Amino acid sequence: MTGLTAIMIMGVLTIIVLLVIRLNTTPSAVQLPDTLTLPDGTKPTAFTLGPDWLAVITDDEILVYNLDGSLRKRVSIDQ
């Protein structure tokens, strides 16, 4: 019984240590361009970030940008 209690205590301490280590790590900073130029009359509704691109979703299209802020592609959304 004493052995089982000791093993349980070590298991709980291990979980606590792993949680503390995991929660104290800082995530890497996301590099975003200083400005993005949206076409006139567009209103952004959502934003997503890919490995080497970012996208701004509007009501009728998806605007895909390079990480330097230049427009890569426009995708029309059919409604």
Per-residue pLDDT tens for 4-17?
Answer: 999 999 999 999 99
Residue 48 near residue 55 (C-beta atoms within 8 A): yes
Print the domain residue range for 69.
Answer: 2-76
Residue 45 near residue 59 (C-beta atoms within 8 A): yes
- DSSP letter (8 states) at residue 55: E
Query: Looking at the 3D structure of the chain, how many domains does it have?
Result: 1
Distance CA 49, CA 28 (A): 14
- For residue 74, give the 3-state DSSP assignment: strand
User: pLDDT confidence of 58, banded at 50, 70, 90?
Assistant: very high
Specify the higher pLDDT residue, 29 or 41.
41
What CATH code is carried by the domain that includes residue 65? 2.40.10
Alpha helices in 1-79 (DSSP H): 2-24
